[in-house]
Structure 1
Amino acid sequence: MSGAMSAADDDGRELTGDEALAAEYVLGALDDADRRAAARRVDSDPDFARLVEGWEERLSPMAANYEPVEAPASTKQAIDRRLFAGNATQAPGSDRTAPGGFWASLALWRGIAAAALAAFLIAVALPLLAPEPAAPQRERLVASLAPQQSDVHYFVVYDASERDIGLSHVTGARDEGRDFELWVIEGGNSPVSLGIIPAGSSVHLAVSDDLQRKIGAGAVFAISLEPAGGSPTGQPTGPVVAAGNLHEV
C-alpha cells in the first residue's frame, strides 16, 4: 500500500497504521489499488469499518447542508487535469522569512498540497459539482489550508451566495492564550483579515460585502497564529501556520 498519512489529530495523537489508512480512505487520497483493498477491509474487518465510519462522521459537517447529486463520470479526470497542470514551486534558496517574502509567494501557495486538495474535492465537494439545471447557480470555492512549518491543517468551503466560510479542523492545536486568524490575499495586495477562527472541528465565519469582493478563485487563504483576540495591527504578526489557494467547484 501507499505510505500511510502521519499527522496529529485534534487531541495531538499521531495518526498511523489503520487509523491513518481509514482517514486517507475517507478523504479519497488512496490510489485505485489501495482504495479497492481498503474497501474490501471495510466489508470484512469490523474494527477497520468502525474507524472509517468515525472519519466519515468527523468530516461530514462540511457537506451537511448540501444535497447530494450524482456527479458525471468525467469529474475526477477534470479535477486532476485542473489541479495538477502547471503548479509552480518555490525557487531554490528563496527566503521564506524575508519581509513580505512569504506573504508575496503566491506562486508557491498555488502549488501547496494539491494532492490533499484533490482528496478533499473528491470526498467532500463532489455533491456540489452537478446542481440541478433548474436551480440557480451558487458559487462555491474550496481550499486545503496545508501546514506551513506546523501541523495545522484546515479544509475550507466558501459559499458566496450565503456569504459563509465553513472551516473543518483536521489537525493542529493553537497555543494556549493564542488565536488562529484567517486572512485573504487577493493578487499582490496586502492580507486582509477575515476574522478569528473559533475553536471547534467544524466552524463558520460570516463574510461582509466588502470582504466578499476580495474572495475569488485564485485568492489565497492563510492562517496565522496571533495573540488572543487577533492581530493588534490589522496585519499578520505571528507565524503563518497553514495556507492554500481557492479553487472553483
Structure 2
Amino acid sequence: MTLAEDTGPERGGDDLLAAEYVLGVLDADERQIVSRRIDADTVFARLVEDWEVSLSPLAAAYREVEPPVSVKTAVDRRLFGTAAAVSRPAEVRGGLWSSLAFWRGLAAAAVAALAIYIAVPILNPPVEQPQARLVASLAAEGSDVKYLAVYDAAHHEVGLSHVSGERASGKDFELWMIEGKNPPVSMGVIPAGATAHIIVSPAAHQKLAQGAVLAVSLEPSGGSPTGQPTGPVVAAGELKSI
C-alpha cells in the first residue's frame, strides 16, 4: 500500500478504544458507553489503566499551566448566578441620591477604580492560555504497526507512543505529514522505543495546527533516500482536536 492508495486508519479494537478514551478524543455519548464498560468489564478496565500508565511519559516534558482566576469566576457565575442586589429602605435611598457628598465620593471612587483598571493588566499580565493539542491513532489495514500521536502546538513537537508492530532488520520507520493532495513531507525518522518526540519545523507548524494526516512508512535504515516514501505505509491517521 502507498500513501496515494490509503491514508485512513483502521478504527476499532478494544486496545485503540481504550487509548482513545484515555486521550479524551471520544464524543460524549461514546465516552459514557466506555465508562459503563470500564465498570462492568475488568479486562477492558485493565486496558484503560495500562494506557494511562503508557501515555503518562508523553506529558512529562510539559510544564503544568495554572488557569487564570477569571476561569473560576466565569464558572461560578454560570453555576450560581450573580448575587441579587440588596434593596435599601426608601428613606435612606432618597437621602443618599440627593447627597452632594455622595456624588463627590462616587466620582473619586470611579477615578481610583479607573486607575486600578489601567494598572492591573500592566502589573499582572493575563496568563497565556494553553494551545490545544491534536491527537491521531495511526494504523493501517493489513499492518500490525500502530502508533498514537499527540501534536503539541505550544512546544512545536509530535509525541509518539508505540502501540504495536516492529520494524524489520535494517529498516526504519519514518513519519510523514500529508496536507490535502500535496506530496508527503518528511518529519524525520522515528527513534526506536516506547515513546518518541519529533520536533516540528516552522514550515510544518501551521499546517499541522489546522489538522493533517500523519503517516508512517517503512524505509531503509536512516530514512528515505529520495525525500518521498519509498516503502509501504504501515500506519496512518488524521489529527483531531482533543
TM-score, normalised relative to structure 2: 0.57
Identity of aligned residues (%): 55
- CA-CA distance at 1:56 after TM superposition: 2.4
Structure 1: unaligned runs, 5 residues or longer: 8-19, 71-132
Q: Mark the CA change 1:63 to 1:196 in structure 2 (over 3 Å): closer, same or farther.
A: same
User: Could you give the per-residue CA deviations for residues 139-196 of structure 1, whole angstroms, max 9, x where no partner exists?
Assistant: 4222111224201111111112211110011111111111000001122210110000
Moved segments of 4+, more than 6 Å: 20-25, 27-31, 47-51
- Matches of 2:225 and 2:14 in 1, distance apart? 35
| 1:148 and 1:240 in contact (8 A); partners too | no
Question: Does the 8 A contact of 1:148 with 1:243 survive in 2?
Answer: no
2:116 counterpart residue number: none
| Partner Cα distance (1:69, 1:22) in 2 | 28
Q: What 5-or-longer segments of structure 2 have no aligned partner?
A: 1-11, 68-125
Please tell me whether residue 244 in structure 1 is matched to residue 237 in structure 2.
Answer: yes
C-alpha spacing 1:161/1:21, structure 2 compared with 1 (3 Å):
closer
Deviations along 1:11-53, one digit per CA (max 9) or x if unpaired, are xxxxxxxxx99778757887746643532565xxxx9876654
Residue 137 of structure 2 corresponds to residue 159 of structure 1: no
Q: Is the 8 A contact 1:184 1:193 kept in 2?
A: yes
State the partner residue of 1:218. Answer: 211
Secondary structure of 1:147 counterpart? coil
Structure 1 segment 46-195 matched on structure 2, within 5 A: 53-64=49-60, 65=62, 67=64, 134-195=127-188
**Higher RCO, 1 vs 2 (CA within 8 Å, ≥6 residues apart):** 2
The residue type paired with residue 59 of structure 2 is: A
More helix by share: 2
* Alignment partner, residue 15 of structure 1: none
Aligned length: 169
> 1:226 touches 1:238 (CA, 8 Å); kept in 2?
yes
Larger radius of gyration: 2
Q: Which one-letter code corresponds to 1:58 in the other structure?
A: S
Is the 2:162–2:195 Cα contact (8 Å) retained in structure 1?
yes
